Chain A
């Protein structure tokens, strides 16, 4: 199994200076944007993006071309890049921001041309200080060259980019919460409808919100073609994808591959196998929100649809491998604590539910568990996400709360005995 380098080729071949404009240009950078602005049309760009069949890389996997097509007409429209990468296990946007920021900027120029947008924002999580500095440097270099600002590349197009830092709230990765945050408000998700960003987004204006990796793919698609992109990977999961591999792996890291290989192959060949020759007990196929798969399910193919068929999701492309020695109760507790900490507090089932889930797991972990706790955990989960299905049903405005149930449901479905062994035989009343 080999990597297919589209987005990470430039950084791999020019490690010392891939973040600099001169290196990006030397390797063909900004040529696509120049060509598009000179002789292309917005319709043609949209055509290419649609024919590439690229689906959003933030987690939801929505077709990018369709999303762009929804953008409502208005004199004032915005592009917002979602660089609030905070899904536990995910660190792929970090490398794109840090090591090849101009690729993102070129993608933004083309996107804004296609959507007739003249003001764009890059919302980067606050903890990504170094990536943010690199992006800001790149933006400044692009302004100096006349690639941003007024009449870019000598065309009639204007584009301003503002790099904005978040301040430590995972929920701002949810697009409507991100927009609230960018407006200087608490990062609380908005109700959809009416607040679909494509219609009522930033400042109530039509807004495209796209992930870093998605927009970083745009220059390659325009330099080649939508068809070329669609010929990579498999149907429904075209192109390449950067997977963040972590956990008990010999060679963790970001790997850009065509979708369609199995998780097992991925771990063995690029991940160089499991540490200390252990076996995998369970793994997370797509970030903290995704239900776990078992170690005997490593033959599952890494595509959006295959993982969905197994009752989980490819999500943000974060693959976390847990070996046979992993205490899965503590793993679940870590995941649930995450969601409890990151709940914005708007919806009662999520705010109260995640807190209770955390408390119950804590008491089991500290040896005070009750036999009834398993049913209690599942009952609380069911109140957050009725039926405990995947994709989850919601009693909440956004999917954060329902995501918190994923690890508990996985634990009780496939590894219940690991929890039962920790519980006393009968309820202890104090």
Chain B
């Protein structure tokens, strides 16, 4: 199934931003994943014709980057950091608790399509270790208990949009730095919320 008109218009807009069409490949893959939760074969065909490279070339790029998912992802992508500052701040306890609550191992999605779990490398929240991202919205200064509370809340409330600042207030602790002013923008899919890609959503 090819892309609907709205998404094609956005795609053309993104392609226009670059001196060469192929540079838009990354943004176009986000566009695909925002809608489908992963990079589908149909999207690979569509993107290949939009920017004039082969389907194999599209797939070869998509498979290189860890944020492009090859399989359908749940509504909430839980990415717990395990790199050095988090590791020495007991991120393994957070990881174990989140895995236990969701009953998932690494890179798995539950049957309801609610959660996908992954442990990831450094997300730049080292001053607030251990940290997690939900759909690439960061929460710092977690404890294993708060991490479970966060998952429970997502499961019960099922917010359409997850917002870093809201999650941080409810479940976070020590931050890497003063976030200063509250931000209401967040994400509704397992891609970074970013206005240029139309993946950014207001919360309230």
**Chain A interface residues (CB < 8 Å from chain B):** 11, 15-19, 85-91, 94-95, 98-99, 119, 125-130, 132-133, 136-137, 162-170, 181-187, 203, 244-248, 252-254, 284, 288, 318, 320, 322, 326, 330-331, 334-335, 337-338, 341-342, 344
Contact = CB atoms under 8 A, between A and B. Distances in A.
Contact of A91 (B51, B60, B124, B196): B124
A342 B121 contact: yes
A238 to B, nearest CB: 24
Contact of A15 (B22, B180, B200): B180
Interface centre among A18, A167, A284 (most CB of B within 10 A): A167
Nearest to B29: A167
A167 B67 contact: yes
8 contacts: A91-B127, A95-B176, A126-B67, A127-B124, A130-B185, A133-B183, A187-B64, A320-B85
B85 A183 contact: no
Contacts of A253: 127, 176-177
B195 A136 contact: yes
B177 A183 contact: no
A72 to B, nearest CB: 18
A330 B82 CA distance: 11
B56 interface: no
A132 to B, nearest CB: 5
A132 B192 contact: yes
Contacts of B75: none
A284 B22 contact: no
Contacts of A335: 83-84
Given A284-B84, A334-B83, A129 B192 contact: yes
Given A130-B137, A167-B29, A247 B192 contact: no
Given A126-B65, A322-B88, 19 more contacts: A11-B180, A15-B181, A86-B121, A88-B126, A91-B177, A119-B19, A127-B124, A127-B136, A130-B138, A167-B66, A170-B121, A184-B51, A252-B126, A254-B127, A254-B176, A288-B84, A320-B84, A338-B84, A341-B121
Contacts of A16: 180-181
A168 B82 CA distance: 14
A245 B129 CA distance: 11
A320 B126 contact: yes
Interface string B16-37: 0111101111110110000000
B129 A165 contact: no
B124 A184 contact: no
Given A133-B194, A164-B26, A184-B26, A17 B181 contact: yes
Contact of A85 (B65, B84, B124): B124
Interface in B1-57: 17-20, 22-27, 29-30, 51, 53
B196 A136 contact: yes
B133 interface: yes
Contacts of B142: none
B194 A89 contact: no
A17 B25 CA distance: 34
Contacts of B105: none
A254 to B, nearest CB: 5
B203 to A, nearest CB: 13
A167 B87 contact: no
Contacts, number: 190
A163 B126 contact: no
The interface size bin for chain B is 35 or more
A98 B181 CA distance: 10
Contacts of A88: 83-85, 121-122, 126
Interface in B131-154: 133, 136-138
B73 interface: no
A18 B177 contact: no
Nearest to A170: B121
Contacts of A247: 85, 88-89
The 5 closest A-B pairs by CB, nearest first: A184-B25, A167-B65, A129-B192, A168-B67, A184-B22
Contacts of B20: 183-184, 203
A128 B26 contact: no
Nearest to A128: B124
Contact of A165 (B26, B122, B164): B26
Given A18-B180, A129-B193, A91 B25 contact: no
Nearest to A127: B123
B125 A91 contact: yes
Contact of B177 (A95, A181, A186, A344): A95
A187 B87 CA distance: 26
Nearest to B178: A15
A167 B138 CA distance: 16
Interface in B84-113: 84-85, 87-89
A15 B194 CA distance: 23
Contacts of B127: 91, 244-246, 252-254
A86 B67 contact: no
Contacts of A85: 124
A184 B24 contact: yes
B80 to A, nearest CB: 13
Contacts of B180: 11, 15-16, 18, 99
A94 B19 contact: no
